Amino acid sequence: MKKLFAVGSAAALVLLAGCSSNDTGTSASSASASAASTTLNVSAAASLKKTFTTIAGDFEKAHPGVKVSLSFAGSSTLVNQIKQGSPADVFASADEKNMTKLGDKALDPKIFATNTLVIVTAPGNPKGIHTIADLNKAGVTTVVCQVAQPCGAATATVEKNTGITINAKSQEESVTAVLTKVTSGQADAGLVYVTDAKGAGDKVATVVDPAFAAVVNKYPIAVVRGAANEGVGKEFVDAVLSASGQQVLQAAGFGKP
């Protein structure tokens, strides 16, 4: 009997040890899987594509297990998507107006950059465009942003300040779309941000009208209230505002906050 009891006890200990090992392993595995599957959803203005892609890459290197999923579009479009339930932990707008539209869902918005408009044309500026008024010359096809988008609102303000209404062939949903129309030859000129023109390099010629200096777009960023990853989102906001994040933005032509 004593021998049987000893064998039974030993088996029970082995079973308990196995369960303990199993539980610990499962817990550790779950924690690891959770860390590895953390996806931070960042919705950002189209003009931020190049800089935020760089900042996101640096952020992932500094935060093992975190994947930054970037979504770029016109700020107004992104606000509507977020309001309709599109997953977003962080929102970066090209103007304060669209951040305000997000209401109390935007947690403590902070300005992280500024930008101004320029005119872009085909390389060499073949249509001889030198001012905003030249955009209405005969034979010049011009495209601008929709007024609901920050680039379009800025354009409207420039028009009001100068008293010149641009006879645009089309109004696009994002500044990227405007730039594409010009670089693809579908338009002779377009109004985009300084950063977009700089990013296009020798694909475009840039024309600066003095009226642009008076219209400065301020870019705010905020964590979205109730987001699945608010904590990591705050860290991403800090990364954008950090010295290294600001260096990336300013190298691309963005002004200081």
Find the largest Cα–Cα distance for the chain. Answer: 109
The partner residues of 38 in beta bridges, in order of sequence, read 66
Contact of 141 with 189, CB cutoff 8 Å: yes
User: Does 93 count as an annotated binding residue?
Assistant: no
Helix (H, G, I), strand (E, B) or coil at 66: strand
User: 150 with 176: CB under 8 angstroms?
Assistant: no
Q: Tokens standing for 225?
A: 């209230």
What is the token pair recorded at 204?
Answer: 């475009």
Is 20 annotated to bind a ligand? Reply is no
Q: Give the N- to C-terminal CA distance of the chain in Å, as an integer.
A: 82
219: annotated binding-site residue?
no
Q: Of 209, 240, 183, which Cα lies nearest the Cα of 249?
A: 240
Residue 175 labeled ligand binder: yes
Give the DSSP per-residue string, 235-250.
Answer: HHHHHHHSHHHHHHHH
What DSSP character marks residue 104? G
Q: CA 205 to CA 3: how far, in whole Å?
A: 93
Sheet with 66-73, edge to edge strand ranges = 66-73, 38-45, 90-92, 217-224, 106-115
Question: Can you say which residues are annotated as belonging to the binding site?
Answer: 47, 75, 175, 193
Residues that constitute the known binding site for molybdate = 47, 75, 175, 193
